[in-house]
Amino acid sequence: MATVAAPAVERENYLNTDYGIRSWLLTVDHKRIAILYLISITFMFFIGGFFATMIRLELLTPAGDLMSSDTYNKMFTMHGVTMVWWFLIPSIPAVLGNFLVPLMVGAKDMAFPKINLASWYLFMISAGLLLYVMLTGGIDTGWTFYVPFSTSYSNSHVIAAGVAVFINGFSTIFTGLNFVVTIHRMRAPGMTWSRLPLFLWSNYANAVIMLLATPVLAIVLVLVALERAFGIGFFTPQLGGDPLLFQHLFWFYSHPAVYIMILPSMGVVSEVVSTFCRKRIFGYAFVALASIAIAVLGFLVWAHHMFVSGMSAYAAMVFSLLSYCVAVPSAIKVFNWTSTMYKGSISMATPMLYAMGFIGLFTMGGLTGLFVAALGVDVHVTDTYFIVAHFHYILVGGAVMGYMAGIHFWWPKITGRMYSEVWGKIAAGVIFIGFNLTFFPQFVLGYLGMPRRYHAYPPEFQVLNTLSTAGASILAVGYLLPLLYLLFSLKYGEVATDNPWGATGLEWRTTSPPPTANFEESPVVTWEAYDYSSIPEVPVAR
Amino acid sequence: MWQDLPLWPNRASALANRVDALFIFLIAVCGFFAVMIFVLIFVFAVKYRRSKNPVPTQIEGSLILETTWSVVPFGVFLIMFVWGASIYMVEARPPKNAMEIFAVGKQWMWKFEHPEGQREINQLHIPVGRDVRMTMISQDVIHSFFVPAFRIKQDVLPGRYTTTWFHAIKPGRYHLFCAEYCGTMHSGMIGEVVVMEPATYQAWLQGGTGEGSLASTGQKLFQQLGCSSCHRSDTQGRGPNLAGVFGKPVLLDDGRTVAADENYVRESILNPGAKVVAGFKPIMPTFDKIINEEQLLSLVAYVKSLAQPEQREPVSNRPAVTPHSAAATQRKQ
């Protein structure tokens, strides 16, 4: 592990130091843990994708004919549960963040490498439990676990699934803890806060949310389990509880969780846009502080999920106003990314295509957020496909596009190989088209009034549902393509140089892939973030 | 072809026009910003592509621009907020004198009760041109009463009443959906709202079973359950006289005051000890698990009917609100 970097005949890196299985399962190297996470969440992504496929196939026709209602209810529940907790929340932080945070601050590893490994083991235990739940009958409460359905009426594995999410939450907390401490305490000499790459700013803000919000999820899951198992009346009125208490607690976590999913993507996009425009991010300080503003305001808007729940109309007005406030920092980011392109020297490589896709689709998702923040409109569209479309634009059009941008951008650094640029661009295009065809019709369906979580629907909604299913099949191809050409590149890809894109971050100033200790000598930072004059001119042919 | 592909929902309530107006405003404003961003990205990507513009111009930022694109959007957001909130406040306040319909949601059906006594399942007949107020409760999990053509939706909770209202403007048959996921047959918990011309509606009412009005059903139940032996129509009963109580503030024995609304009446029947009227002892037994939600609704309707204007004048005969008993309560604390 702690060997001195060997001279450059065959450069030693974190991948070739040891090939044994123990060297992976007992590693405390943040880069290897990132790889472990990458494999695990990719597997979970395709499981979640399988459920999505079943949903879209069922909705191809108005009648509920492909599977039973109970099966359909389990499909959308397990799609949501898997994608939210076992893919989106760990995606960028646990893979790219784990790999990059120590590299970007100029450190040898995370502050707590063993806690980092423990985080992955907790994730795997929770994933195993979730797979057990899936294979032994599943869960049908919706990913939101609404009471009293989940505590008193559902006949599925609510407690087991709750325990899985509970354990999963601690893997999130461990990751967040490591990020906060590493970014505070382990920055290289000269790496001041104002020189921090924006990826770190957004992951820092994100880690704070992970630390503060996730425990509330743990609490509410314990309460649900206690009520379900022992009949202790927290939420069910017949037992003396209040179902709205559950909703307040659940959304107090789950709204910030949306920002857990999107903030890291914003960080990726900042890095990618700057690099492929060869230009400092326009309004660096505003983009950085917007992340903090989102993290803080994100805690104050939870009840906008509850405008028709029966809570006080005056409370609803406060939450509507605060929801508009949290839209401002998001708007600031979009304007700054767009302005960064102005007078840049723009290369349309695959990561940039994904980043541009992110900006466009996140803008659509954010702007439709303004629709649902408007009380009078939300009453009509909440719990319809309008909401489904809105959050998929944020979480798939935004978060997953950002994740794809990041995976492609740092792929040469992580693996030491270049992927096929041609296939990369094709896949980005296919994903963009498939995504829009899948989800745009759902905005129309929602305003027409089609409720979400419907196994069967009135026949007049069929044309739009068919379009959506057609789009989903294109999207599925789009997601399978990268799996193939990225794996292909591991063996046949061109060997990557240390800094193939001409980017400025510290991670590009070490070898590709980096040595176990990250840097041959500890870096000292004397330049501002995104200072393209600080690196030798790199010809980028792509 | 366009029958198969509707792009705009039916507009069958007075509110629908207001909601659609805001929705169109939102499409216009957001569409403008979206197109602006898309065009800028596209133009920059073409104009400043690396082959054409090999050397970027470094720009630090601009405080003026940052301020502009923070303040201007926020100003626009405030318009959206005020507009949206004003519609919501209309939705939240049912007009006085609205016709009243009770609804019970259960896995997986809707039951409706008209004040005249008609009951129906998964169908709701209402007259065009009248304000209709829905008082709703669930017998099991959370449901949600959603009529897209009216642009209204309200969760229906177990354990307490929620309300919504609408004013239909166009006769026809409209979808009624349950919008809150409620288990196996959630997508089967659907029905229709039949909006009728007033004359047709009257004819439909006449065709009913003639069980008597909801309030009279409640009155019978009130006698059967023995409520009337304590809640007497004079001041001598062991429980408060209920005439004229509904809709008024009630002083409790702990000094608090609550409004005597549907939820208070319901709670007082199921959990009588929770909010005891000042001057009375907590001796009433609970009727929880003895009567069901529909019977409860008829009792609520009966208590409500006791507050009708013609019976409303004498309010001061109840010990609950006399200064003497209030003072006695104060001393006890």
> Across the interface, do B152 and A379 touch by the CB < 8 Å criterion?
yes
Res B117: pLDDT: 84
Residues of A in contact with B166 (CB under 8 A): none
> Across the interface, do B45 and A348 touch by the CB < 8 Å criterion?
yes
Cβ atoms of A266 and A179 closer than 8 Å: no
* DSSP H stretches of helix in A84-157: 89-90, 98-105, 113-135
Cβ atoms of A412 and A453 closer than 8 Å: no
Q: Half-sphere exposure (CA, 13 Å, Cβ side) for A289?
A: 9
Distance CA A202, CA A294 (A): 10
ipTM tops the 0.90 cut = yes
Distance CA B206, CA A40 (A): 66
Residue B61: partners with Cβ closer than 8 Å, 6 or more residues away: A282, A283, A284, A285, A286, A336
Helix (H) or strand (E) holding B175: strand B172-178
Instruction: Give the residue-averaged pLDDT of B45-62.
Output: 90
Give B333: exposed, middle or buried? Use CB within 10 Å, 0-12, 13-18, 19+: exposed
- State both tokens at A113: 């490498």
For an interface test with B, the pick among A67, A335, A452, A468 (most B C-beta atoms closer than 10 Å) comes out as A335
> Across the interface, do B23 and A447 touch by the CB < 8 Å criterion?
yes
Q: What are phi and psi of A383, to 5 degrees?
A: 65, 20
pLDDT score of A266 more than 50:
yes
Say if residue A120 is preceded by a cis peptide, omega within 30 of 0: no
Q: Closest partner residue to B142 among A146, A282, A316, by Cβ?
A: A146
Distance CA A391, CA A389 (A): 6
> Across the interface, do B73 and A309 touch by the CB < 8 Å criterion?
no
pLDDT score of B111 more than 50:
yes
Distance CA A83, CA A91 (A): 10
pLDDT score of B319 more than 60:
no
Cβ atoms of A310 and B154 closer than 8 Å: yes
Percent of chain B with pLDDT over 90: 53
The alpha-carbon gap from B201 to the nearest alpha carbon of chain A, in Å, equals 26
Residue B67: closest C-alpha in chain A: A332
What 8-state DSSP symbol labels residue A398?
I
Cβ atoms of B104 and B293 closer than 8 Å: yes
Res B3: pLDDT: 60
Least confident of A143-152, A257-266, B206-215, B298-307: B206-215
Res A340: pLDDT: 95
Give B171: exposed, middle or buried? Use CB within 10 Å, 0-12, 13-18, 19+: middle
Least confident of B103-112, B272-281, B301-310: B301-310
Residues of A in contact with B142 (CB under 8 A): 146, 148-149, 243
Instruction: Give the residue-averaged pLDDT of B277-304.
Output: 87
Least confident of A35-39, A404-408, A458-462, B294-298: B294-298
Res A18: pLDDT: 87
pLDDT band of residue A7 (cuts 50, 70, 90) is very low
pLDDT band of residue B223 (cuts 50, 70, 90) is confident
Q: Closest partner residue to B60 among A280, A325, A373, by Cβ?
A: A280
Instruction: Give the residue-averaged pLDDT of A68-94.
Output: 96
A140 touches chain B (CB under 8 A): yes
Per-residue pLDDT of A97-136, as tens digits, reads 999 999 999 999 999 999 999 999 999 999 999 999 999 9
Amino acid of residue A149: F
Q: Closest partner residue to A379 among B5, B77, B151, by Cβ?
A: B151
Least confident of A171-180, A476-485, B55-64, B130-139: B55-64
A320 touches chain B (CB under 8 A): yes
Residue B68: partners with Cβ closer than 8 Å, 6 or more residues away: none
Q: What are phi and psi of A511, to 5 degrees?
A: -75, 165
Reference A175, options A129, A113, A130; nearest CA is A113
> Across the interface, do A327 and B73 touch by the CB < 8 Å criterion?
yes
* DSSP H stretches of helix in A309-457: 313-341, 350-373, 375-381, 385-392, 401-415, 421-448
Res B317: pLDDT: 40
Give B273: exposed, middle or buried? Use CB within 10 Å, 0-12, 13-18, 19+: exposed
